[in-house]
Amino acid sequence: MGVTKEQVESSLKSKMNPSHLEVIDTSGGCGASFAIEIVSEQFEGKRLLERHRLVNGALAEEMKEIHALSIKKALTPEQWKQQQEPEKSNTAA
């Protein structure tokens, strides 16, 4: 059973229109545990709880099979840009 990384990705892509998405299968193969980083305009003006709700909602079907979903990051494109810049300057230096 379980859900594949691809299923999670395609659901999130179609429903959240993310500008950045990273899905990591942390289950060790059984497909019951994922970690997600997602950047989407839909998060604009929403609290963290509401952002997580959006992601959970987008994965409603998959959640039936998923035991643990860890949303590492749920950012707006603006926040994502801010987070990326210091990292870039670090690597440049």
CA–CA distances in Å: residue 52 to residues 39, 73, 85, 86, 89? 12, 9, 24, 25, 30
What's CA 49's distance to the chain center, in Å? 14
Per CB under 8 A, does 84 bind other proteins? no
Residue 47 vs 88, nearer CB to other proteins: 47
Query: Taking CB under 8 A as the rule, which mask of x and - marks residues 57-76 in contact with other proteins?
Result: ---x--x----xxxxx----
- Under the rule (CB under 8 A), what is the footprint of other proteins? 48-49, 52-53, 56, 60, 63, 68-72
